[in-house]
Amino acid sequence: MTVDIQYFMLRKGLKFTLGFIMLFIVTYYYLQSSSRLRSANLRKALLAGNDSVVANGRFNCHFAWTDGNGGMHQLPIETVLSKSFSLSSYSEQSQIIPYYYKSQWNSPGEDITIVTLITRNRIPNLARLAAQYNGPISATIHISDDEEGEFTLDLLEQAMEQNSAMRKYVDIHIVRDEFDRELNLWRNVAKLFARSEYVMMLDIDFFPCTQFRESVLNNVHAMNLLRSGDAALVIPAFEFSQQEDGLDYRTFPRNKRDLIQLYNENKIESFHSFWLPGHAPTDYERWVNIPSTAAYPDESADEIYPVNEYQHSYEPYVIYKNQGSPWCDERFAGYGSNKAACLFELYVSGVDFYVLPDDFIIHQTHVYPDEVRSIEVKIIYCISFIN
C-alpha cells in the first residue's frame, strides 16, 4: 500500500471519528435539552393545574384494566388517587404527580426501598441519603401552589443534576396542594409507588451509619421473617446527647463497636430518650450487650430478637413487606403520633417486631425554625412528664 493511499485512509478514518464524536455531542445535547424542556413544561402544567399537559409528562394519565370478557376499561388517574387518599385533605385542587423524577435503578423484586418524605430544606439530606444507601429510595416532596413551589422545584432540579446518586436511586413524587404537614398522606404516596418487595419507613433526618440493606438481604433468618409478611425488622435509632455533636454526619460512628463506646461514655443515647414509650420497647440495653459482628462474627449473626413489650406509642424505624401491609391513617396531620399510628396499625394487623443486632441509624441535628413545630415539640415534652 502506497504512502498516498495510507494517508488518504487515515484522513477518512479521522473524519469518520470526528464526525461520530460530533454526532454524539449533538445527540446528547438534544436529549438533555429535550429532557429539560419536558421538565419545564411539566412544571408549568403542575403549577398551573393544567392536567392535559401533565398527562403527557412522565406518567400514564389513566388507570386501565381488562374485564372477564376482554373488554378494556379505564379511569382518570386523578379519580383513582382521590379515592386512594380520600381520608386526607386531598381535593380537586390537589395534585399527586408520581415519578416526577424516576430513578435509573431497576430494582430486583427482593430489595428494600427507603420510603421517606422531604420538604425544601431537606433536599440536601436526600442527596446525602442516596449517596450513603446505594439502593432504591421513594420520596414524596410537598410543594405549594405558588412561587415558593416553583422555587422548590428549581432546587430539586439542581440537586438532581448535580447528584448522580439521586439520579440513579431516587424516585421523586410530588404532592401539590395548600395543606401542610399531612405526613401520613405523603408517606402513603411514597409507599404506593415504591418498586420493591420490601420498604423501610425512614425520617429524612436520620443517617444510615451501617449498610443494613446488604446485611438484611444476605441474612437468611432476616429474609425468612420478611418473606412471611408477619414480621417487621427494627433498626435501633440513636442521637447525640449534646445536639451540636450531631450536626456533621461525617463524624458519626460507622460500626457498632464505635457506637457502643460513645454510648458507654454517655455521648450517644437512644433516640428521644425523654419519651420512653417511643423507643424503649427496642430494649437498648439488650442490643448494646449483643456482641458486634465486627468483633465476633459468629456470635451475633443470629441474634435477631423479638420486641416483647410492644405498646401503642412505639415508633421505631422498620423494614417490612410492602404488599398487603396496612396504610398510614391519613387523618393524622401535624407533628406527633402520626408515625406511631402507622406502626400500631401494622402491629394490630398481625405483624411482630424484631430487632436487628448490628445495624443502627443516627439522628442528624437540625433546628426547628417553624414556630408551630416548636410549640408542638414542647407539648410532647409536657405529655412525657405527665405520663
Is a pLDDT exceeding 60 seen at residue 26? no
8 or 73, greater pLDDT: 73
Is a pLDDT exceeding 60 seen at residue 298? no
The listed range with the strongest mean pLDDT (54-68, 84-98, 165-179, 250-264) is: 250-264
Mean residue pLDDT across the chain: 79
Note the pLDDT of residue 80. Answer: 62
Is a pLDDT exceeding 70 seen at residue 295? no
Place 384 in a pLDDT band, splitting at 50, 70 and 90.
very low
Note the pLDDT of residue 103. Answer: 95
Residue 235: strand pairing partners: 317
Note the pLDDT of residue 109. Answer: 75
107 or 339, greater pLDDT: 339
Note the pLDDT of residue 110. Answer: 92
Note the pLDDT of residue 21. Answer: 42
Note the pLDDT of residue 8. Answer: 38
Is a pLDDT exceeding 60 seen at residue 181? yes
| pTM over 0.85, yes/no | no
Mean pLDDT, to the nearest integer, of 220-233?
Answer: 96
Mean pLDDT, to the nearest integer, of 30-49?
Answer: 44
Note the pLDDT of residue 177. Answer: 82
